[in-house]
Amino acid sequence: MGNPSSEQPDTHPDTHPDTHPGTEHDPAGEVVEICRDLIRMDTSNYGDAEGPGERKAAEHVAALLDEVGISSRLYESEPGRTSVVAHWGGDGSRDDALLLHGHLDVVPAAAEDWQVDPFSGEVQDGYVWGRGAVDMKDFDAMLLSVVRARARAGRVPSRPVVLCFTADEEAGGHKGAEVLVRDHREEFDGVTEAVGEVGGFSTTVRGRRMYLIEAAEKGMAWMRLTARGRAGHGSMLNTDNAVTRLSGAVARIGAHEWPVRLTPTMQVLLAAVGDLAGVEATPENAPRLIEEFGGAARMLGAVISNTTNPTMLGAGYKVNVIPTEATAHVDGRFLPGFEDEFFATLAELTGEGVEIEFLSHQQPWETPYDGDLVDAMTRSLLAEDPDAVVAPYLMSGGTDAKHFRRLGMRSYGFAPLRLPDDLDFTALFHGVDERVPVDALEFGARVFDRFLDDV
């Protein structure tokens, strides 16, 4: 909408993107080009008022949908911070709608660190390179490619579908999904289930490909810690030093070894790994079973316990001046069902004289790994990769599902990718040289097309 304070949605422009000849009815036909086009649109989210915003990408998505007869609405929480919502499908036989959602923003990228321009969308060595290639313009492209091909072929799902592409997910969704849920919840009337990132990607355990479907997320506690003390000359005694007090708290928080805690989702996953390894999964051998995932253990090792990672420190302005204030930022993540333990322990570790301010405080969630939607995801994957294993996992980071679940939806992460055994996929999230295999994108589009046949 032209006026960000308006409650009315904006209508998208009439301009249409170029089509890609010969791909109109193939669900995987456009996925690579759409992914490249989205990567070329810099939607870097710096977590503040800086950055280009998502407007250009949102208008592009709206035009792609409009070209195949799907109308959409654009919502802006602030100038340039734009989300897209569209309604598709439904023949009147069902009133339980399905939400399919992705986000349009990406984290920043320093071009000098990359082998290629991070906003080039270059295809090289069988990969699409660029910021957002795995988080998550790949899934946006899969979804758009499948929907466009199905719309052109008249293969419209009988179940009502809400398509949503949001702003600001990389900074907690406060200017995107949170605004939609709070101010425009009528767009989601009737939605009972939701599918978005991060799941459906493969990893290899004991020579077997295993696809991980997200069924839970840790809660988020982004915190600013502040200690205050008595200013003074650096050469004199000072028993009320803010830097000393804060440093002690940060050191305790960063060094704390949180105990292993297995939620129902991780119990299912580790049982599947235990079957492959020939052992029974227990809390005691959980860390060892996590090692079976290779590079993915970086992420999965973080979801068998609460975690706290100090990320920023700030104090003082001159070496011989003791400042009155010192600050630190901590990224805390807590497991579903273990919130009380997390915050009680955090208070003990922080100690007296340090104030905790929450910059973002979002609840964890966990959806039972059962039901028709789970069956549809499993069948669609096994139809393309029959010898694989499919299991749920708990996501260490956060997604827009935290906001959409406030409307009562059962949520999952399912952006299917069949990945090479030697690709350290989880290192590419927010990493340098982010890239996704071309054949994985095409695989994902085929799987998601099968999935929509079955929901």
pLDDT cut 70: percent of the chain above it: 95
The model's pTM is 0.89
CB within 8 A of 110, min separation 6: which ones? Answer: none
- The pLDDT tens digits of the residues spanning 363-374 come to 999 999 999 999
CA 251/CA 353 separation, integer angstroms: 15
CA 258/CA 256 separation, integer angstroms: 6
Describe the chain by its helix, strand, coil percentages, rounded to 5: 35, 25, 40
- The pLDDT tens digits of the residues spanning 225-252 come to 999 999 999 999 999 999 999 999 999 9
**Residue (of 192, 194, 164) closest to 180 by Cα position:** 164
Residue 5 has pLDDT above 50, yes or no: no
CA 264/CA 282 separation, integer angstroms: 12
Helices 31-40, 438-454: crossing angle, 10 deg rounding: 110
- Residue 23 pLDDT: 56
Question: Can you name the residues that pair with 97 across neighbouring β-strands?
Answer: 191
- The pLDDT tens digits of the residues spanning 316-347 come to 999 999 999 999 999 999 999 999 999 999 99
- Residue 64 pLDDT: 98
DSSP 433-447: T-EEEHHHHHHHHHH
- Tokens found for residue 320: 């011989």
Q: Are 159 and 97 in contact (CB under 8 A)?
A: yes
